[in-house]
Structure 1
Amino acid sequence: MGQITTTADAIRSLATAFATALGEGWTTAPHERDAVTLTHTDGRNMTVTPLWDKTSDWKGEAPDRVAVRGHFPDSGLKLTSAEKRRTKMTAALTRSEESITAAMVRMAETYTALFEMVSAYNDAQATARAARSTLRAELVGMIPAGVETTRAPEVNVTQERICDEQSQRTVGTTNHQVALYFPKLNQYEARELMATFRRLRISKQQAAAEQVADVQGL
Structure 2
Amino acid sequence: MIKRHFTINWNEPLVCQVGHAYDEGVHQPIISKETHRFFANNFLEYLFTRTVWWVIPPVWLPVIWWFVSISVQRGLTPPQLALSIFCGIFIWTLMEYIVHRFLFHMKTKTYWANTIQYLIHGCHHKHPMDRLRLFYPPAASTILCVPVWTLIRVLSTSSTAPALFGGVLLGYVVYDITHYYLHHAKPSKGLIHSLWRCHLIHHFRVGSMGFGVTSSIWDWVFGTLPSTKAAS
In which range does the TM-score fall when normalised by the shorter chain? under 0.3
Q: TM-score, normalised by structure 2?
A: 0.23
Q: TM-score, normalised by structure 1?
A: 0.24
Which has the greater radius of gyration?
Answer: 1
Q: Which has the higher contact order (CA 8 A, sep 6+)?
A: 2
